[in-house]
Amino acid sequence: MTVSTIPGLDAAPTTHAKLLAWVRETAELTEPDRVEWVDGSPEEWTRITDLLVENGTFVRLNDEKKPNSFWCASDPTDVARVEDRTFICSKDPSGAGATNNWMDPDDMKAILTERFRGCMRGRTMYVLPYCMGPLNADEPMLGAEITDAPYVIASMHIMTRLGTKALELFTKDGVEQSFVPGLHSIGAPLAPGQADVAWPCNETKYIVHFPEERLIWSYGSGYGGNALLGKKCYSLRIASVKARDEGWLAEHMLIAKVTNPEGVSRYIAAAFPSACGKTNLAMLEPTLPGWKVETIGDDIAWIRIGADGRFYAVNPENGFFGVAPGTDYHTNPNAMRTIAKGSSIFTNVAMTDDGDIWWEGMGEPPAHLTSWKKADWTPSSEELSSHPNSRYCTPISQCDTRAPEWDDPNGVPLDAIFFGGRRRDTVPLVTEARDWQHGVFMGATLSSETTAAATGAVGVVRRDPMAMLPFIGYNAGDYFAHWIEVGKAADSAKLPKIFYVNWFRRDAEGNFTWPGFGENIRVIKWALERIDGTAAAIDTPIGRVPAPGSLDVSGLAMSATALDDALAVDVEEWQNEIPLIEEWFEKIGGQLPSSLKDELESLKQRLTP
Ligand code: O2Y
Ligand code: MN
């Protein structure tokens, strides 16, 4: 079939020349059987989910349990982000820096062009126009994904503003607007008559970003952040580059509104590494009477400086792609209520015999399940029923705790930024930074034990600066410098205060020292009272921690020793941390700002007896 005869190619619902040219060129390269433009309508959702059921990718769940919802299991080799296959192809290697995989853009394009050649044979090529963030933003953040995976369409229906309403913004007052093109293929062409599999993918994967061109190419994986290109690829890696160039921040942060019993509301953002509880905090049910938390976003924040010199945060997403295991009515009742309303996709969890879903952490397991590996599973099975990185994908609009301003195009003004990691030792429950520069140092040296959100070893401590290690689209040293600069560009009196939290510290017996979940409101309360100047703190070598009696533990069954353990700053442990930070800073190399070196020197001095 020559490109001009590919059905659907000429049925484009736009006159946007660059978009049309890119679609045509891609069809020429990938040779699909047909082209379809995605409109984002409810009818399309029904058609695509029906198709996915027919293909064997989706199983429709019991409408009485999870209405309009679907279960699916990926190929067991395609279950998480592939950091070792993720590339930043800047023109110069220093543009990617020491924390990213780099390849020359022309070399990468040569390799991938051959991978993409004919890769959509036997399949439909879908064109997805979408917008990250509100459609009514001054500058709507447009993207277009070309994909051969209908699973991506169903997921993007939930996670983005998708289809016609986004496409309308591609041309404004007759002027063609720029957009981020993202080419995605599962890399599994079908020969004539060849039967498909439920989760086609390719064992070779590439997740590639060309930052100067604001371009994304993804090959071989159909899963999550590898395939839904609006999420990590656009909203973090490409957006962080755009943000550097334009003076704002694209961050791996939840955004929440916190209201105290007096009715005073404040907005916070928090950067925790993948699968460290951002969604739980974004939907937190406070245990302290009179406190309320409302959700604005659970994974990504775009932070701009407003005309008044304050930081304003927008959530670019339209849904939650949350970690399933461990989520239940105890740990995150709001997530459970959100998915109970239906219209959700569950990937790599277990399915019950009556067409519902189940995962580890949901209480007593049923006597029989179908596991994420599509095998019979009983409570005596040795394997987990659900993959540790299994996910629910559900619309924010269904979340009862969403704040009314969750999709305000101007964003919400931030009062506090929390950095946090998963550390069994060393890092106390909460530490307040002395000032912006010290806070940036805390973020730049953030460390955490790895989780199942990415492939590779789990539980290994690594530096994860600002929880952005896998998502900084450029040189990490330049990224730290940019944080410092953005702080200078804002009104210094209105900068958010920075705190560093660790909900995961353990005692000598290996037990968690802090109960976490809804009790975390106590830490947030202390932080907000620090902003108000009403809570006391003591200075330590690493920053300020709650003074005795200043952290509200009323009604909490927690011994004084456990609280001391949670808050302790152990000088010896921190002295042991210094060589690790030095090693980290050496790795960052010449672009590391001198102000952060100064911070390290001051910390060393403060730790010296
Ligand atoms: O995208 C995936 O494959 C899972 S990773 C993920 C998904 C949603 C939100 N955040 C993450 C992450 O790794 O940070
Ligand atoms: Mn994330």
pLDDT tens for 370-390 read 999 999 999 999 999 999 999
Q: φ, ψ for residue 26 (rounded to 5)? A: -70, -40
- The closest residue, in CA terms, to atom 12 on ligand 1 is 274
Cα gap 428→127, rounded to integer Å: 48
Burial per residue of 145-182, b for 16 or more beta-carbon CB atoms within 10 angstroms, e otherwise: bbbbbbbbbbbbbbbbbbbeebbebbeeeeeeeebbbb
The DSSP code for 265 is E
The dihedral region occupied by 216, where left means phi > 0, alpha psi between -120 and 50, and beta the remainder, is beta
Residues in the ligand 1 pocket, defined by CB under 6 Å: 80-81, 223-225, 274, 299, 321, 389, 453
Average pLDDT value over all residues in the chain: 97
Choosing from 131, 201, 233, 276, which is the catalytic residue? 276
- Tell me, in angstroms, the distance from the centre of ligand 1 to residue 406's CA: 21
**Residue 60: C-alpha distances to residues 7, 56, 344 (Å):** 30, 10, 10
Local confidence band at 453 (pLDDT 50, 70, 90 cut-offs): confident
Residue 504 has pLDDT above 70, yes or no: yes
Dihedral over Cα of 510, 514, 520, 526: its sign: negative
- The closest residue, in CA terms, to atom 10 on ligand 1 is 274
> pLDDT tens-digit profile of 141-188?
999 999 999 999 999 999 999 999 999 999 999 999 999 999 999 999
| Catalytic residue list contains 201 | no
For residues 321-345, give the mean pLDDT: 96
> pLDDT tens-digit profile of 536-550?
999 999 999 999 999
For residues 223-238, give the mean pLDDT: 98
What's CA 220's distance to the chain center, in Å?
20
Residue 1, pLDDT score: 59
- The closest residue, in CA terms, to atom 8 on ligand 1 is 321
- The closest residue, in CA terms, to atom 13 on ligand 1 is 274
Q: φ, ψ for residue 365 (rounded to 5)? A: -75, 150
For residues 130-147, give the mean pLDDT: 98
Residue 2, pLDDT score: 67
- The closest residue, in CA terms, to atom 5 on ligand 1 is 453
What percent of the chain stands above pLDDT 70? 99
Dihedral over Cα of 59, 359, 424, 417: its sign: positive
Please choose, from the candidates 563, 561, 565, 494, the residue with its C-alpha nearest in 3D space to the C-alpha of residue 522: 563
Cα gap 448→493, rounded to integer Å: 31
User: Amino acid identity of 388?
Assistant: P
For residues 37-54, give the mean pLDDT: 98
- Tell me, in angstroms, the distance from the centre of ligand 1 to residue 417's CA: 21
What three-state secondary structure class fits 498? strand
Residue 458, pLDDT score: 84
What percent of the chain stands above pLDDT 90? 95
Residue 274 has pLDDT above 90, yes or no: no
SS (H, E, C) 107-167: HHHHHHHHHHCCCCCCCEEEEEEEEECCCCCCCCEEEEEEECCHHHHHHHHHHCEECHHHH
Exposed / middle / buried, residue 221 (Cβ in 10 Å: 0-12, 13-18, 19+): buried
Select from 82, 207, 276, 323 the residue to mutate for testing ligand 1; criterion: most ligand atoms less than 8 Å from CB. 323
Q: Which residue has the higher pLDDT, 181 or 558?
A: 181
Please choose, from the candidates 157, 176, 165, the residue with its C-alpha nearest in 3D space to the C-alpha of residue 137: 165
- Tell me, in angstroms, the distance from the centre of ligand 1 to residue 224's CA: 7
Select from 81, 349, 446 the residue to mutate for testing ligand 1; criterion: most ligand atoms less than 8 Å from CB. 81
Residue 455, pLDDT score: 78
CB 219 within 8 A of CB 116: yes
Strands 311-314 and 412-420: antiparallel
Please choose, from the candidates 561, 534, 565, 566, the residue with its C-alpha nearest in 3D space to the C-alpha of residue 550: 534
Q: pTM for the whole thing?
A: 0.97
Select from 156, 327, 391 the residue to mutate for testing ligand 1; criterion: most ligand atoms less than 8 Å from CB. 391
Least confident window among 135-144, 428-437, 498-507, 555-564: 555-564
Cα gap 270→469, rounded to integer Å: 15
Residue 87, pLDDT score: 98
Query: Nearest bound ligand to CA 321?
Result: 1
- Tell me, in angstroms, the distance from the centre of ligand 2 to residue 298's CA: 8
The dihedral region occupied by 483, where left means phi > 0, alpha psi between -120 and 50, and beta the remainder, is alpha
Query: Nearest bound ligand to CA 225?
Result: 1
For residues 100-112, give the mean pLDDT: 98
> pLDDT tens-digit profile of 74-84?
999 999 999 99
Residues 6+ positions from 270 with CB-CB distance below 8 Å: 253, 254, 256, 278, 281, 417, 418, 419, 420, 501
- Tell me, in angstroms, the distance from the centre of ligand 1 to residue 431's CA: 27
Closest ligand 1 atom to Cα of 81 = 3
- Tell me, in angstroms, the distance from the centre of ligand 1 to residue 391's CA: 9
Closest ligand 1 atom to Cα of 274 = 14
